[in-house]
Amino acid sequence: MLRTALSALLSLEDDIDVVGSAGDGLEGMELTRQLKPDVVIADIEMPKKTGLELANWIKDQKLATRVIIVTTFARSGYLRRALDAGVSGYLLKDSPGDVLPDAIRTVYNGGRTIDPELATQAWSEADPLTDRERQVLRLSAAGLTSSQIASKLNLNDGTVRNYISETISKLSANNRIDAARIARDKGWL
Amino acid sequence: MLRTALSALLSLEDDIDVVGSAGDGLEGMELTRQLKPDVVIADIEMPKKTGLELANWIKDQKLATRVIIVTTFARSGYLRRALDAGVSGYLLKDSPGDVLPDAIRTVYNGGRTIDPELATQAWSEADPLTDRERQVLRLSAAGLTSSQIASKLNLNDGTVRNYISETISKLSANNRIDAARIARDKGWL
DNA sequence: CCACGAACATGACAAAAGTCATTGTTTTGG
DNA sequence: CCAAAACAATGACTTTTGTCATGTTCGTGG
């Protein structure tokens, strides 16, 4: 719905043409390859392929296409990963409606547009979690007990508790629930 | 952004006039009072007042205005509460873009439009939680320990554990994390 | 090559969480 | 008004978590 609505919004601008519209990340790649647009607008959380994967793919293919991420999530971890993937813009869905056309123009002319709210806190903290820790924390956040996580990952019960204990202290959280909440908020999960 | 984009989308329809647009629930009430529109499109999770509160307010005021909820969340609990609040439509943001204009027409003519995916499962289960249980579970989901919750609510430590134990068994969950997840998914939190 | 950090494991202990039975007091709907 | 619910508390008990110390293995970068 947002997609069609944004198409409608952008069609009203004289200097912007909407050349295509994709329902998921994979379709997005396909269309980008075929149409070679100047600018791609993508969400992060999409079916099949995320917006970050799409951006990385565009970077790897060395296409001239620039990427603007438009997403719901004001998470510094997302922004950081997006910038690593070479995107030119990162906007929030709840920013005023007229910023998108402006952002497209800026980016088309080689500039960058980062949501001001996020730009400041972006480089404040790096993700301190290791892959294993993240993985364990994710399962824990899904409501599994330590032993369930252990058997799912073929680990020892105590090992899992160690990982969780590590994440709790790294994130200075109260407990595993708190740790998961903090990691999620920062975009580290 | 979705708001302006939807305005643009709906402006393209000949038989639909966008008479106003509000940034939060309170503004929505204010505008509804002034403009008395035929149909109001509202999200559920909004600042100040939720879409459900807005719908209830419209019902209480006995206005002729009909309400369509457009939200991200496919939660049966939300739909149920929305229907209790007398809304005429409940659509998901990720449904195709052309359903909204049709929905508006249907609702304007006295009909109802409920997202088919949700309509089936809507009456499957009622929220089994009491107010207290919900309240305690919410704090627990925020990462507080039982004793922190207890002192926040002026309750006894064990009482809080009892409530959580109750919710866990009512929702047949593994633990408090799981219980919170289940409740959230159903829209009971 | 070797230091370092990751991943994995064990055991022991303390703290928190979860269960159950029981007993009251309010609220509230028929 | 009465019966159900909801709300609140206590105690006793088990299980799960969280912490700590300690040790092994393995791969990468300087």
Return the residue matching tokens 């499957």.
Answer: B124
Summarised one tens digit per residue, pLDDT across range B51-70 is 988 998 998 888 999 999 99
| Stretch B153-174: mean pLDDT | 92
| Stretch B165-183: mean pLDDT | 92
pLDDT at B181: 93
Interface residue A91 vs chain B (CB under 8 A): yes
Interface residue B102 vs chain A (CB under 8 A): no
Cβ density class B6-27: b for 16+ within 10 Å, e for less: bbbbbeeeeebeeeeebeebeb
Which residues, 6+ apart, have CB-to-CB distance to B182 below 8 Å?
A143, B171, B173
Interface residue A94 vs chain B (CB under 8 A): yes
CA distance B83 to A180: 33
Q: Are A134 and A121 in contact (CB under 8 A)?
A: no
- The structural domains of chain B, ordered by start, are 2-122 (3.40.50.2300), 131-186 (1.10.10.10)
**Dmax (CA) of chain B:** 62
Taking CA–CA distances from A140, the nearest residue in chain B reads B177
Nucleotide nearest to B175 (CA to C1'): C18
Cβ-based contacts of A3 with chain B (< 8 Å): 97
Interface residue B148 vs chain A (CB under 8 A): yes
> Is residue B16 scored above 90 in pLDDT?
yes
Nearest CB to A175 within list B3, B72, B143: B143
Nucleotide nearest to B145 (CA to C1'): C16
pLDDT at A124: 60
Is residue A162's beta carbon less than 7 angstroms from any atom in nucleic acid strand C? yes
| Stretch B158-170: mean pLDDT | 92
Does this model's pTM top 0.90? My answer is no
pLDDT at B94: 82
- ipTM of the assembly? 0.73
Q: Are A1 and B94 in contact (CB under 8 A)?
A: yes
| Stretch B21-33: mean pLDDT | 92
- Could you tell me which of A121, A167, A177 has the C-alpha nearest to residue A144? A177
Judged by CB atoms within 8 Å, which residues 20-79 of A form the interface with B? 70, 72
- Mean pLDDT estimate for chain B: 89
Summarised one tens digit per residue, pLDDT across range A58-68 is 998 999 999 99
**pLDDT averaged over consecutive 10-residue blocks of chain A (189 residues)?**
88 91 92 95 91 91 93 84 89 87 93 84 71 90 91 89 90 91 87
CA–CA min distance B58, chain A (Å):
25
